[in-house]
A = this chain, B = another copy of it.
Amino acid sequence: MDLESNCLGAQSVFFQNPPSISGHACVVGKKEGEGPLKNSFDYISDDSFFGEKTWEKAENAMVKMAFELALDKASLSPSAVRALFAGDLLNQCTGTSFGLRGASVPFFGVFGACSTMAEGLCLAAMSIDGGFSACSAALTSSHFCSAERQFRLPLEYGGQRTPTAQWTATAAGAVLLSKSGTGPRITHITTGKIVDAGITDANNMGAAMAPAACDTLNAHFHDTGRSPSYYDAVITGDLGHFGHDILAHLAHAEHTSFPNIFTDCGILLYDSKTQDVHAGGSGCGCSAAVLCSYVFQKMLDRTYRSVLFVGTGALLSPTSSLQGESVPGIAHGVLLTSD
């Protein structure tokens, strides 16, 4: 076999034996469970603490539950999983490491900010197609309360949110990939580059991530030789309403058509008219939960046969913003197809 036989263009890969989605689950909080996708989630908790004493431990519990639910739904034991790719936005990714410390599964920690689910799927798919695993998993989480107090202000302060601010989803999603199966398959991935457009407003992450999404989309279309019209849906991670509009503008400037098949998990997760989330949803759990509910359901009922899922991440920290840095973005593309 030619060692580079799976490469396509400068940033994309296609799989000789496209791995199949053999299981998935998502766990969400109360607010997400009141939104437009409320009938699509596996578990909705009315308790923001998920039975734990702190919001960080609640996030650990969500991670554990999402992984166990995905395994249960697929009738698999943890020992079937040979490579688990997971991470989150808490400092040192503790949502993941504490949530999974009892799982006893070979583990690769990843950090892609809100692009983590897409990044994990890229790596999980490569691990299977490369012959390194028969079953791999991608997992991520976020929690509004643990994120808010880590990145912004104590919740008790009741800080006013800007119009461009997004609402960090309380959600965890887990996806199991197998070398065989009848679920949707990952046929291509496009690995993103870090793109820094100079945005310094940490409350406008849609603006910071949109250029990275545009860069990855252009790379994907160039590498595969396809246009957006090939896909039933192109779904970005968490650009939100402002970021989605900016992507439309950038895509137009790049001479890429921007048809109505483009949407965004941050727009889909909440009802913008009634749920007071300002520019939409965000957080690692946002795109993970929408993928594991809305997207996979539409693929399983064949409404969608070809979906380009583009996870988007803002690679900032509170410290980098306080030191005057701009916000680098990244986006990874995952092409899902069902027969």
Contacts and interface: CB of A to CB of B under 8 A. Distances in A.
Nearest to A11: B106
A10, A97, A111: most-surrounded residue (chain B CB, <10 A): A97
A68 to B, nearest CB: 15
Given A123-B123, A191-B83, A315-B94, A56 B320 contact: yes
A3 interface: yes
Contacts of A195: 101
A76 interface: no
A192 interface: yes
Interface in A196-227: 196
Q: Is the interface of A mostly helix, strand, loop or mixed?
A: loop
Contact of A97 (B56, B89, B105, B315): B315
Interface string A83-119: 1000101111110011011111111111111000001
Nearest to A313: B109
A127 interface: yes
A111 B94 CA distance: 10
B192 A106 contact: yes
A20 to B, nearest CB: 12
Copies of this polypeptide in the complex? 2
A53 B319 CA distance: 13
A316 interface: yes
B130 A132 contact: yes
Contacts of A17: 3
A128 interface: yes
Contacts of A102: 196
A295 interface: no
Nearest to A103: B194
A2 B131 contact: yes
A246 interface: no
B108 A92 contact: no
Interface string A4-44: 11110011010011000000000000000000000000000
B123 A3 contact: no
A317 B6 contact: no
Contact of A133 (B7, B132, B193): B7
A100 B323 CA distance: 17
A232 interface: no
A54 B320 CA distance: 10
A6 B112 contact: no
A107 B191 contact: yes
Given A6-B130, A11-B106, A196 B111 contact: no
Interface of A: 1-7, 10-11, 13, 16-17, 53-54, 56-57, 79, 82-83, 87, 89-94, 97-98, 100-113, 119, 122-123, 126-134, 150, 179, 191-196, 315-320, 323, 325, 328, 330
